[in-house]
Chains A and B, each alone.
Chain A
């Protein structure tokens, strides 16, 4: 991925999907598709390297700086390489009330890493995020598209075991 000689491109299916996404917006407003396409890119390339962002810019016929500006504004886009599973845990008030701080410190201890870090085996990256809109079902975290809710230490152990297989 970091090898700049590698030509970045979507798989044919994703490229078709990207074109369909662009077509959803009115003519000349293709820039609107930037976030859908960045999500698609992150699905394939795991993180938003400069090459990936430049590729997104070329698909949308916009300048690379427009992609950098957007990618750095929104928190879901990883600007550094990440592990196989990115655990994004909620640190906001309601989850804290439900015991989130204890559960996530257990998670950190279990993985032996701090927020923002990746395990040595490259399996897990921990990211601290703000409210995931699941306050009544907290503590919660998200791995890719999946929400894990009503977490406690035991559940965390099970999830990590499962994903480590």
Chain B
């Protein structure tokens, strides 16, 4: 057989070129390049069909539609649902318009979101925290009363906190695509739309617990883990078991030598790699239930590796660096990541900084 070379599209995101198959979305192309140019996503979830388009966090500017028709698209587009064209040029973090729009999306999502992060189980692994930290402004202009909902009990395993919900619909898709009978959905509409079973019944199904993992915020949390821990105090370990219902590949979350939570394993975009069953998630909380594989590889950018909020740890692409360079002073982003204070104190940067401080106060 002859080798047929598949037709590939060339796409540029923030100055970095990548080749992808036709039908790829801008988001997928950007993710293929890497986290430095990948747009944030609050509703899009690759493992679940049909997600995306709702949160508008991933809006990007298409500066050139394609090589054939290089006109820019008139509006910002949701990168998660917009397919690429050959020769398309996309601006993400490098477009001031996108940066502004994203600030707005952060503001909108936080308008009615309770600031209960200190008691929220999701804190530390909350995509809304990350999204607003990375893309938002630190202030709010909202002076109106915040929206509230009537509390609903959806059973012994899952805690629903509707006020925290960003209506990404991921849990609805999860129930549709993984379980054999969805009993919750989105009720009402507009700014009073809510996730609910309507009749206050339990969401009880072999795979229902996955809604906890897909929820980007603390709207759906694990009742068996509730208020037990802060995520940065726990240590994730990869483990597996022989399970009839699911792959049995999980992540155990230890505090000391106690398993306080079981979740699915996630990829670098925070998406579940393999969905797990409720028995694995809620009922196997002893080390002896599992074959331990070893500590999970934790990304440097994770709060679990500490200092998540100490600085921007993601290397920016050259294009963005050049842009930044032209506007600000040169940023050396190739420095090794160091968290030990004693090490930091030895560095040239630290010494320069201290010197600057000293000079400043001398004045």
A interface residues with partner B (beta carbon < 8 Å): 50, 63-66, 68-69, 72-73
CB neighbors of A among B188-202 (8 A): 188-189, 197-199
Contacts of B189 on A, CB cut-off 8 Å?
A: 72-73
B181 at the interface (CB under 8 A from A): yes
Q: Are A69 and B199 in contact (CB under 8 A)?
A: no
B interface residues with partner A (beta carbon < 8 Å): 181-189, 197-199
Q: Are A73 and B198 in contact (CB under 8 A)?
A: no
- In the docked arrangement, what's the CA distance between A73 and B199, Å? 16
Contacts of A73 on B, CB cut-off 8 Å?
A: 187-189
- In the docked arrangement, what's the CA distance between A66 and B186, Å? 10
- In the docked arrangement, what's the CA distance between A50 and B199, Å? 8
Residue of B nearest to A75 (CB): B189
Q: How many contacts between A and B, using CB within 8 angstroms?
A: 27
Q: Are B188 and A65 in contact (CB under 8 A)?
A: no
Contacts of A72 on B, CB cut-off 8 Å?
A: 187-189, 198
Q: Are A68 and B187 in contact (CB under 8 A)?
A: yes
Q: Which 10 A-B pairs have the closest CB atoms?
A: A68-B198, A72-B187, A69-B185, A65-B185, A72-B188, A73-B189, A65-B183, A50-B199, A65-B182, A69-B186
- In the docked arrangement, what's the CA distance between A68 and B184, Å? 9
Contacts of B197 on A, CB cut-off 8 Å?
A: 65
Please name 24 pairs of A and B residues whose Cβ atoms are closer than 8 Å in the assembled complex, sorted by A: A50-B198, A50-B199, A63-B181, A63-B182, A63-B183, A64-B199, A65-B182, A65-B183, A65-B184, A65-B198, A66-B185, A68-B185, A68-B187, A68-B198, A68-B199, A69-B185, A69-B186, A72-B187, A72-B188, A72-B189, A72-B198, A73-B187, A73-B188, A73-B189
* Chain B proximity of A117: nearest CB distance (Å): 19
- In the docked arrangement, what's the CA distance between A64 and B185, Å? 11
* Chain B proximity of A60: nearest CB distance (Å): 15
- In the docked arrangement, what's the CA distance between A69 and B197, Å? 9
Contacts of B185 on A, CB cut-off 8 Å?
A: 65-66, 68-69
Residue of B nearest to A50 (CB): B199
Contacts of A66 on B, CB cut-off 8 Å?
A: 185
- In the docked arrangement, what's the CA distance between A165 and B184, Å? 44
- In the docked arrangement, what's the CA distance between A29 and B187, Å? 22
Contacts of B187 on A, CB cut-off 8 Å?
A: 68-69, 72-73
- In the docked arrangement, what's the CA distance between A50 and B185, Å? 15
- In the docked arrangement, what's the CA distance between A57 and B199, Å? 15
Extra contacts, 11 of them, besides A65-B197, A69-B186, A69-B187 (Cβ < 8 A), are: A63-B182, A65-B182, A65-B185, A65-B198, A68-B198, A68-B199, A69-B185, A72-B187, A72-B189, A72-B198, A73-B187
Residue of B nearest to A73 (CB): B189
- In the docked arrangement, what's the CA distance between A120 and B187, Å? 29
- In the docked arrangement, what's the CA distance between A63 and B185, Å? 11
Contacts of A64 on B, CB cut-off 8 Å?
A: 199
- In the docked arrangement, what's the CA distance between A69 and B183, Å? 10
* Chain A proximity of B200: nearest CB distance (Å): 10
Contacts of A63 on B, CB cut-off 8 Å?
A: 181-183
- In the docked arrangement, what's the CA distance between A67 and B313, Å? 47
- In the docked arrangement, what's the CA distance between A65 and B197, Å? 7
* Chain A proximity of B52: nearest CB distance (Å): 20
- In the docked arrangement, what's the CA distance between A63 and B198, Å? 13
* Chain A proximity of B202: nearest CB distance (Å): 13
- In the docked arrangement, what's the CA distance between A63 and B205, Å? 15
Contacts of A50 on B, CB cut-off 8 Å?
A: 198-199
Pick the most buried of A63, A66, A69, A73: most chain B CB atoms within 10 A of its CB: A69
- In the docked arrangement, what's the CA distance between A66 and B176, Å? 11
- In the docked arrangement, what's the CA distance between A93 and B182, Å? 40
- In the docked arrangement, what's the CA distance between A63 and B14, Å? 46
Residue of B nearest to A69 (CB): B185
* Chain B proximity of A99: nearest CB distance (Å): 28
- In the docked arrangement, what's the CA distance between A68 and B182, Å? 12
Pick the most buried of B182, B183, B189, B198: most chain A CB atoms within 10 A of its CB: B198
- In the docked arrangement, what's the CA distance between A69 and B198, Å? 8
- In the docked arrangement, what's the CA distance between A68 and B194, Å? 12
Contacts of A65 on B, CB cut-off 8 Å?
A: 182-185, 197-198
Pick the most buried of A50, A64, A68: most chain B CB atoms within 10 A of its CB: A68
Residue of A nearest to B184 (CB): A65
Contacts of B182 on A, CB cut-off 8 Å?
A: 63, 65
- In the docked arrangement, what's the CA distance between A69 and B186, Å? 6
Contacts of B183 on A, CB cut-off 8 Å?
A: 63, 65
- In the docked arrangement, what's the CA distance between A42 and B68, Å? 55
- In the docked arrangement, what's the CA distance between A66 and B197, Å? 10
Residue of B nearest to A72 (CB): B187
